[in-house]
Amino acid sequence: MTHNYTVIRQKRIESDVERCWRALTDPVELSSWFAGTDRFLPGQLTRFEFGDGDYFAANAVEWDIPVSIRFNWRFMDLGTTSEIRYSLLPFGTSTEVSVEDRGLYSVRGALELCEGWEDFLARLDRFITTGQNSRYRWSETIGLGAILKNTPPPELYSPIWWRGEFPGSDVNVQNGDGSPSINLVFHDPKWDGIATRARIQFVDRSDGTGISVTHRGWEKLPEHIQLAERRKFAEVWRGVFGHLESQSA
């Protein structure tokens, strides 16, 4: 079950508050440690693009230079909205950067966010203190989720339906291991006989039924097509889940 959790993480960075503020707000600097974007300003929609097909759709609603930023975002523009706040507190020549992430999460989801923000703050620190690009190359796993207001449609258990959603791919459906899940195996002529595997899971939430996918195996594909295929499938998954979410609204 989900609850309104707040994840809080802090990092003391050996740099002044103005330098940290710039790294958190300037599009060029954001692209060196976090994600690509063409703007991050109050009252404007922003997309933080990770380069592998993943993104956050965000909107800054508070902007207090150089003290705090509050913005709302959704991963892949799906599911519920999370509220994020960056706070900067000067400590002499250093700055304490705090992140608060508030949303409707499971305990597992909140703990995963703890790890994720620890990683991003470490990347921010490394970029500011060394000047080196600290952004990760790309994620080897496609993982995203949506919220359904009713029960999952029965066509999700049909390989014919999945092949229609992923044209050009051969998709086989396997039953889960007793938990609410569906296992999918994907083959594609371009993959030299290699398969990728996706696991669909359903969880009860206070606001409906959560549906999520974890799709792995991209790093096993021929190197020259790994990232392009990963991007393509991330876009398709976003479309599939977006359609399911809008149908159930």
Q: What is the pLDDT of residues 22-71, one digit of tens each?
A: 999 999 999 999 999 999 999 999 999 999 999 999 999 999 999 999 99
Query: Which pLDDT tens digit goes with each residue over 105-149?
Result: 999 999 999 999 999 999 999 999 999 999 999 999 999 999 999
Distances (CA, A) of 174 to 32, 39, 168, 190, 230: 41, 43, 19, 23, 22
* CA 115, 1, 76, 23 torsion-angle sign: negative
pTM for the whole thing? Answer: 0.94
- Please say if the pLDDT value at position 234 is more than 90: yes
- Please say if the pLDDT value at position 100 is more than 80: yes
Distance between CA atoms of 224 and 218, rounded to whole angstroms? 11
